Amino acid sequence: MKPALLLILFSTSVLTAQSASDTPAKIYSAGPDVTAPELLPHQVSQPYVNDHCTGDQQGKVTFSLIVDANGEPRNVFFLHPLGADLDVLALKHVTEDHFKPGTLNGQPVAVAESLDVSVRTCLRDEKDARGQARMVLHLAAEPEQELKPPVDPPQQVVLVSGNGVTPTPEEPNPLVYKVGGDVKPPHYFPPSTDEMRFARGLLDLGDYKVSVLVDRNGMPSSIRILDSAQPGKEQQIARIMSVWRFRPAMLNGRPVPARTEISLRFTMRGR
């Protein structure tokens, strides 16, 4: 029988937290008195690729976000990821979006929304800076996007941008939070069938314990192996975890980066 992923458990994160000092903004939902934001034409950061490509892939990713009073996407995280590299391209596209902001009595306000992003991609053989050939995933066409009503929108929240891990001019010293109190832990999206098949091809039966940093978009990074049933499987586990997606840790309704530990158990099907 083939091994299956039976159990996934989260424990508390391990790094220091800091309370937010920024002023929360009131968050609205579109309705009788509040107009909904509107997507503006996308400014493409790189040309779409549809020639000399192989491995056409497509899918739909859904995000939660807040469109602020300036029409910028804030507090972006996954609601329904694909669990593949298509998520990365969809996320990049959304964070580069610009909107006509929603209004209340004619004045721009922050409005919560969900956003469906349908992407089509392909692989192209390219050379890196060292002249080594590699396959690079590109958008083959402009993604189709559709704004929808929000899911569990906060009434007020500190508006943030970026993943909360990479230093920016606004956050030169980003912090990783500790789960507990007002900081709610990150939650994984159940692995897809393809992810399960991929994992079964790489790992043996047994227990594995992993530490992972989940950024505020819900992307994993800085994966560490704490305990492994099979020594020498560190690279395989890191490859598996790299395509997992999460609902990020939340602090008073806003996503924050947090490190968490995950226990995985692979056993025979039906046991």
What would the pLDDT profile of 147-174 be if each residue is shown by its tens digit? Answer: 999 999 999 999 999 999 998 888 888 8
Which DSSP symbol is given to 24? P
Instruction: Name which residue leads in pLDDT, 207 or 115.
Output: 115
Measure the CA–CA gap between 241 and 191, rounded to whole angstroms.
10
Closest CA to 10 of 247, 198, 252, 270: 247
Q: What is the pLDDT of residue 89?
A: 92
Q: What is the pLDDT of residue 4?
A: 46
Beta strands 107-108 and 110-127, pairing class: unpaired
For 44-98, what is each residue's pLDDT tens digit? 666 788 777 888 889 999 999 999 999 999 999 999 999 888 999 999 999 999 9
Mean pLDDT of the chain: 84
Percent of the chain with pLDDT over 70: 85
Q: What is the pLDDT of residue 45?
A: 63
Most confident of 49-58, 222-231, 256-265: 256-265
Instruction: Name which residue leads in pLDDT, 77 or 264.
Output: 77
Q: What is the pLDDT of residue 57?
A: 87
How wide is the angle at C-alpha 169 spanned by C-alphas 164 and 170, nearest 5°? Answer: 60
Rg of the chain over all Cα atoms, to the nearest angstrom: 20
Q: Inform me whether the pLDDT recorded for 16 exceeds 70.
A: no
For 108-158, what is each residue's pLDDT tens digit? 999 999 999 999 998 888 887 788 888 888 888 899 999 999 999 999 999
Instruction: Name which residue leads in pLDDT, 61 or 262.
Output: 61
State the average pLDDT over residues 259-263: 88
Q: What is the pLDDT of residue 87?
A: 94
pTM of the shown model: 0.85
Most confident of 189-198, 229-238, 252-261: 252-261
Measure the CA–CA gap between 115 and 77, rounded to whole angstroms.
10
State the average pLDDT over residues 235-245: 83
